[in-house]
Amino acid sequence: MPQPNLLLGVNIDHVVTLRQARYRTLPDSPNAEPSVLAAALAAEAAGAHSITVHLRADRRHIQDADVFLLRKNIGTKLNLEMGNTREILEIALKARPDFVCMVPENREEVTTEGGLDVAGQREALRSTVKALSDNGTRVSMFIDPDLDQVRASAEIGAAMIELHTGTFANHTGAERAAEVARLRAAAELGQSLGLQINAGHGLTTKNLPDLWPVPHLAELNIGHHIVSRAVFIGLQEAVREMLAVMATYGK
């Protein structure tokens, strides 16, 4: 089969948010549902190219055991989002995900609210990137489309950047067009520096076509919209619906 122009990583954190709403204190209950593995396998069956989970310091959704369960059983790639802490790094080194995406974390936030300040944390991030890379994991930086952050990501040895598309998603009209221009510039610079260009946050089937002027996109990581659509049409159909829109990239 020919490789599609744009790959899809399905973030299943919010499937687990539903499980934790009832079974946070009963992780071994035979009734604990929905299953993180079943969600991952359904996404894969529908055509997802990787499975993304965020192991947060506060463990509000994904748990340590979920990461190892997915690592053992999924058939595609595992992408682990993580903050730069020793505790989570040690778990990542044991689990050996295919990819790690370094993200900022704020306990008060509902979800990740912006990009990581790579330029301001070069040395701390450089050692983490080296440890993960030496262990066989490709590392990405989740950053705003800021040229200094793109350059810093390349300087510390990251293989990829994931451009934060939250500002793009939350605006329309001229403000969205201005953000697309920023995303274009960041993608072009990243490509010239040898970085793989991914993107994610707030992306939906409706707003994706407005993102298509951004060149060099390799993979999108999308979770909330797919899980939200799954409530009404099922997870596999929600993944297929997203892939159908993504197939128009570069056309």
pLDDT (0 to 100) of residue 105: 85
**Distance from the first to the final alpha carbon of the chain:** 19
Cβ distance 80 to 95 under 8 Å?
A: yes
What sign has the CA pseudo-torsion 238, 45, 203, 66? positive
pLDDT (0 to 100) of residue 1: 43
Cβ distance 214 to 187 under 8 Å?
A: yes
pLDDT (0 to 100) of residue 113: 67
Q: Which residues contact 217 (CB under 8 A, 6 or more apart)?
A: 6, 187, 197, 198, 199, 211, 249
pLDDT (0 to 100) of residue 251: 83
Q: Which residues contact 67 (CB under 8 A, 6 or more apart)?
A: 53, 55, 78, 80, 91, 95, 97
pLDDT (0 to 100) of residue 108: 54
Active site residues: 54, 81, 201
Low-confidence ranges of the chain (pLDDT < 70): 1-4, 106-113
pLDDT (0 to 100) of residue 5: 85
pTM of the entire structure?
Answer: 0.95
